Amino acid sequence: MYTYVSLIVLFPLIGFLINGLAGSRIKSEKASGIIGTSAVMLSFLTACGIFIEMLGLPVEERKHIVTLFQWIGAGSLSINAAFQVDQLSILMTLVVTGVGSLIHIYSIGYMHGDKGFWRFFAYLNLFIFAMLNLVLADNFLLMFLGWEGVGLCSYLLIGFWYDRNFEKSTTSDAAKKAFITNRVGDFGFLLGMFLIFTTFGTLQFDSVFGQAALYEKGTPIIFWITLFLFVGATGKSAQIPLYVWLPDAMAGPTPVSALIHAATMVTAGIYMVARSSILFALAPATMHIVAVIGLATAFFAATIGLVQNDIKKVLAYSTISQLGYMFLACGVGAFTAGLFHLMTHAFFKALLFLGAGAVIHAMHEEQDIQKMGGLKNYMPTTYKTFFIAALAISGIPPLSGFFSKDEILWKAFADGSPILWAVGALTAGMTAFYMFRLVTLTFEGKERFDVHHTHPHEAPNTMTVPLMILAGLAVVGGLIGIPHSLGGGNQFEVFLEPVFEKAAFKMSLPYHDASAAEYLLMAVSVAIAAASIFAARTVYLNRTDVAARMAQQFPGLYKLLFNKYYIDEAYDAAVIMPIKKTSEIVLWKGVDVNVIDNVINTGAKLVGFASEMFRRVQTGVTQTYAVVFLVGILFILGWLMM
């Protein structure tokens, strides 16, 4: 089965080519949709086959490298187009293609009637292709190719409705913002890659990590490599300071938000950190930075999420916050916990976004939750699945989010510090609060829209079936990672352990037995989540005046949160305006107009002046020419004779 790994990547590419090249001629939404969806489903089935075969193999034989061809060969640089199939990459492949398939099915219903239907599916397939390259690559460069590919697809899909307005500008501006912000991160990734090449002389994962294992912990060069790699991760995975693009990425169609900006692409940074775990394990300083940045992002994004009114914006900040959790896990060395949360998050966050999409669909493109309410009577399936997802993300046992989030919090406490745990638990409480604020305002209470004008309706089957499947996964997804303390075998960790063996050895984290502390922390975080849910439901269902009163009582804080800490404005003032002004005043009016234009014009004038003088030679009198000719010949003859 392993040799078929290239098929996983090939199917979406074929789907992209068919829809991309012939899509406008297919003219049938059904055909386009089926081609796009089946391409991803075939990939998923192939990945399942490999996964099942892998489970049957002994642990030492589970990793395979399938080389397709030599991609670049120049001097000592040799890069293969090769796929590394191991526990980590197959997990990511399953998540990408599995969740991807469901979102493709959903998109058939969601994008129904859109004039760019085939274009949408072409982009989605291209995205899956790039993402699979990213997770299956066996070297940094091929990974970077996928990394850039997903960035491109993200750009194309955010700006998919290029003729629509988004907030104060257009969707194209949002797309550009995402792309350019990612460029900053990618620059870090590139620098990291250059450093890796100069240090290890190769970009191939196995040989880089093999050589790295011989280094001492805390070597400066490894610190810089990991720091630059992490800068790349902050761009792609929307962490402080480069998270600003993700909220704006909500300008894209909702399935895109679900697939790219919640479940898969934004987790690429976590995947990259986990893949390079051995490097990070050698750089404790970077690990601290990762943990702190992750936690800070989780916390600040959650506070912003508390007051947003756009249904997708709340989910966007929630995604940033959850990604922060995953980095917190990586930062304290709990890579498996981070990946576990990555997987469960893919389930419930995709579900939340798709549910939000169904709501937006039903409300005719209305996204303001203040203008919703009472939708549970109109769209029961969406309500139920959304509710399950909200419970899962809040960390209510035994749903998937509970296990993964608790694992992270416990590891943050045990291997990090109590402060990390405390802030993490507080963030978990805020998560539960804003999720149930969202659920309550959207689905419960009285209708706050014009009932005679808007008639919300349940979404079609193509949309509700993926919702139900994802809801099932959000419920049971955590069961594969039940910790030892709760009597489970933590299958997930056991499965992934070989990948992080070296890193774990370098970090030599102590083994924690199930202890009273763990149970206590678990109980506390569940209690916080439950209390937050209760508070949110009370505030937004029965005591609707409380929220407004709170906002009035702390107007400064409320405005600060509502305006997202004015980070966009700050970046605008600190980065964008200076660059714009420098370009305009110095580069354009200074260098371009005065220096470059002047040099060119002076040269032209000199030539003109010289020819003005020399053209007098051309008299038009033939005989003058003849005399000059004669004199010339005489001169040459004289010279020859001498």
Q: Where do contacts with another protein occur on this chain (CB under 8 A)?
A: 615-616, 618-623, 626-627, 630
What Cα–Cα distance (Å) separates residue 539 from each residue in 24, 315, 317, 430, 433?
50, 20, 21, 14, 10
The distance of closest approach from Cβ of residue 610 to another protein in the complex, given in angstroms and rounded to an integer, is 14
Identify which of residues 556 and 620 has a Cβ nearer to another protein in the complex.
620
**Which CB, 553 or 622, lies closer to another protein?**
622
Helix/strand/coil for 426: helix
Question: Least distance (Å) from another protein to the CB of residue 613?
Answer: 11
Kindly report the number of other CB atoms within 10 A of residue 303's CB atom.
19
User: Phi-psi region for residue 566, left (φ > 0), alpha (ψ -120 to 50) or beta?
Assistant: left
Q: How many CB atoms lie within 10 A of CB 261?
A: 29
Pick from 413, 412, 402: which is nearest to 291 by CA?
Answer: 412
Q: How far is the CB of 604 from another protein (least distance, A)?
A: 19
The smaller minimum CB distance to another protein, of residues 566 and 609, is found at 609
Query: Tokens 């990604």 belong to which residue?
Result: 323
Tokens of 499: 């990948």
How open is the CA angle 319-291-131, to the nearest 5 degrees?
A: 45
CB-neighbour burial class of residue 38 (10 A; exposed 0-12, middle 13-18, buried 19+): middle
Least CB distance from residue 627 to another protein, whole Å? 5
d(CA 640, CA 642): 5
Residue with smaller CB distance to another protein, 452 or 616: 616
CB of 611 to another protein, least distance (A): 10
In Å, what is the CA distance from 458 to each residue of 372, 434, 450? Answer: 15, 24, 17
Closest CB 580 distance from another protein, rounded Å:
50
Q: Which residues of 390-401 are buried (b: 16+ CB within 10 A; e: fewer)?
A: bbbbbbbeebbb
CB closer to another protein, 214 vs 621: 621
Query: What's the min distance (Å) between Cβ of 635 and another protein?
Result: 15
Residue 578 Cβ, how far from another protein at the closest point, in Å? 54
Minimum distance from residue 612 beta carbon to another protein (Å): 10
268-275 helix and 117-136 helix, angle to the nearest 10 degrees: 10
Compute the least distance from the CB of residue 631 to another protein, in Å: 10
Pairing of strands 77-85, 169-170: unpaired
- Give the N- to C-terminal CA distance of the chain in Å, as an integer: 90
Taking the C-alpha atoms of residue 185 and residue 189, their distance in angstroms, rounded to an integer, is 6
What's the CA gap between 138 and 65, in Å, rounded?
7
* DSSP letters for 210-232: HHHTTSPTT-HHHHHHHHHHHHH
Q: Which amino acid is at 495?
A: F
Closer of 168 and 616 to another protein (Cβ)? 616
Tell me the C-alpha distance between 44 and 55, whole Å: 16
What does the DSSP 8-state code read for residue 242? S
Q: Which is nearer to another protein, 516 or 621 (CB)?
A: 621
Is the Cβ of residue 25 or residue 616 nearer to another protein in the bound state?
A: 616
CA torsion, ordered 78, 82, 88, 89, to nearest 10 deg: 140
Nearer to another protein, 25 or 615 (CB): 615
Structural contact between residues 536 and 433, judged by C-beta atoms closer than 8 angstroms: yes
Residue 68: its H or E element:
strand 64-74
CA angle, 273 as apex, 210 and 406 as ends, to 5°?
Answer: 120
Q: Which is nearer to another protein, 515 or 624 (CB)?
A: 624
For another protein, the closer CB: 534 or 629: 629
Angle between helices 140-158 and 117-136 (to 10 degrees): 160
Residue 162 or 635 having the CB closest to another protein: 635
Shortest Cβ distance from residue 637 to another protein (Å)?
Answer: 13
Nearest to another protein of 586, 631 (CB atom): 631
DSSP label of 81: E
Please answer whether residues 5 and 50 qualify as being in contact, where contact means their C-beta atoms are separated by less than 8 angstroms. yes
Dist. CA 608–CA 600, nearest whole Å: 12
Output 505 or 625, the one with its CB closest to another protein: 625
Q: Are 262 and 349 in contact (CB under 8 A)?
A: yes
Return the number of the residue (520 or 634) whose C-beta is nearest another protein: 634
CB of 608: closest distance to another protein in angstroms? 14
